[in-house]
Amino acid sequence: MRKLMMALVGATALVAASVTGALAEGKKAEVLHWWTSGGEAAAVKELAKAFNAAGGEWVDTAIAGSGSTARPIGINRIIGGNPPTAMQFNTGTQMNELAQQGLLRPLDDLAKEQDWKSVLTPSFYQAIQFQGHIYGAPINDHGQNWVFYSKAVFTKAGVTEEPKTWDEMFAALDKIKAAGLIPVAVGGQPWQLQSMFNAILLGEGGKDLYAKVWKDLDTDAVKSDKFKHVAEVFAKLRNYQDAGSPNRDWNVATGMLIDGKAGIQFMGDWAKGEFIHAGLVADKDFGCILGPGESNFMMGGDIFVFPVLKDKTATDAQTLLATVIMSKEGQLAFNSKKGSVPVRLDVDTSKLDACAQKGLNALKDPSRQILAPDVLTPQDIVQTEGDLIAQYWTTPSMTADQFATQFAQVIEQAK
């Protein structure tokens, strides 16, 4: 990440010319994020509405694409001296480099005053810290290993039950293919393919193997037969995609399920926000499972970080925004549209949809919880492995043995 940050400094003037800096008039807050799909935009609107109602003025800087597009722009502005008031990151290690360089505002006093520790799970409370200081205000808890499916497509293909094993999953996909529909809606971008791979690693490989790979960075586990089996299952799914999958955005893939063109999608629960935005109802129009067998819940999410600002009014706007983000009302309004669940444990979630309830039930059992790689693993490893996973997906000639060997080499080279 350090190399990326240094390489981006030279483009600061271009970015500054096209995007406004931190706004100091009143309690204006320029918020940089990458939530631009239908469901995401609806969720952002709820958060902005709550901030404005609290006395702030939300100034939206939405960057289309994904975090891999938006993050470099935001990082560039921060290190170049033209920071937004607040910026979205994924929960975990993405913020660490900026925090280490003293470019982010510590939130220790605010977190203590509002007792964030008592309302967050210990793992999430730890994930918003770097070197003992709190730098992130978490807005949600995203389940990242969901499988969503179109009930209309299942019915048309004669699939009568949710797959509980991988044998049942592939049998269902064969029926969908035979019915002339697309079995798996794939967005062929590295982060999406990595998300699919991780869901299979956790579901088919098990919690222990997943933890050894992403938390312990155990190369022996990567070279194991069990890991290679996961790679083979992942590779088999290539046979069920369509020709338009390369570089397809995730929400376009979700739209294929919404339109009844495709059967299933491996995606985090932000996809549910698209179903909600389209007026579809969970467990009626679409289904959701935590992989075959509905086992573990891969916990990730989003946070906002607050660059160091010199103007007191702008700093006050940051404080107000962080307070709204962590409020029960702000969390519930945002997550009911986003598809995720509140990161606070004391929010009344009884009115959230059926898929959210499945996730919340999983979160009641600590043995079913495991953190996403973004929280467990240094970002250079996550990103490099993501590129390798994408290469494996698009290179049918690469064997599971070769993939495992290269996967282990990435870890070894990073240590």
| Domain shared by 185 and 234, yes or no | yes
Question: What would the mean pLDDT of 304-322 be, rounded to a whole number?
Answer: 96
The predicted-structure confidence for 246-258, as pLDDT tens digits, reads as follows: 999 999 999 999 9
| Domain shared by 310 and 292, yes or no | no
Within 201-287, residue ranges assigned H as helices are 207-214, 219-222, 225-236, 250-258, 271-277
Question: What would the mean pLDDT of 265-276 be, rounded to a whole number?
Answer: 96
Total domains in the fold of the chain: 2
Q: Show which of 321, 341, 363 is a domain's final residue.
A: 363
| Domain shared by 261 and 402, yes or no | yes
| Domain shared by 189 and 276, yes or no | yes
Q: Is residue 9 in a domain? A: no
Q: Is residue 292 in a domain? A: yes
The predicted-structure confidence for 75-117, as pLDDT tens digits, reads as follows: 999 999 999 999 999 999 999 999 999 999 999 999 999 999 9
Is the pLDDT at 13 greater than 80? The verdict is no
Banded model confidence at residue 154, pLDDT cuts 50, 70, 90: very high
The predicted-structure confidence for 356-388, as pLDDT tens digits, reads as follows: 999 998 888 888 999 999 999 999 999 999 999
Q: Is residue 236 in a domain? A: yes
Q: Is residue 4 in a domain? A: no
Q: Is residue 17 in a domain? A: no
The predicted-structure confidence for 398-413, as pLDDT tens digits, reads as follows: 999 999 999 999 999 9
> Any idea which of 13-27, 99-113, 198-212 has the lowest mean pLDDT?
13-27
| Domain shared by 180 and 263, yes or no | yes
> Any idea which of 66-75, 301-310, 399-408 has the lowest mean pLDDT?
66-75
Q: Is residue 293 in a domain? A: yes
Q: Show which of 363, 389, 404 is a domain's final residue.
A: 363
Q: Is 415 exposed, middle or buried (0-12, 13-18, 19+ CB in 10 A)?
A: exposed
Q: Which residues contact 30 (CB under 8 A, 6 or more apart)?
A: 20, 21, 22, 23, 59, 61, 84, 85, 86
How many C-beta atoms lie closer than 10 Å to residue 237's C-beta? 21
| Domain shared by 128 and 98, yes or no | yes
How many C-beta atoms lie closer than 10 Å to residue 2's C-beta? 10
| Domain shared by 74 and 193, yes or no | no
pTM (2 d.p.) = 0.87
Q: Is residue 52 in a domain? A: yes
| Domain shared by 127 and 237, yes or no | no
| Domain shared by 99 and 164, yes or no | no
More confident residue, 365 or 35: 35
Question: What would the mean pLDDT of 27-54 be, rounded to a whole number?
Answer: 96
| Domain shared by 265 and 399, yes or no | yes
Q: Is residue 101 in a domain? A: yes
| Domain shared by 208 and 331, yes or no | no
CATH of the domain at 56: 3.40.190.10
Domain of residue 32 covers 27-142+300-363
| Domain shared by 129 and 155, yes or no | no
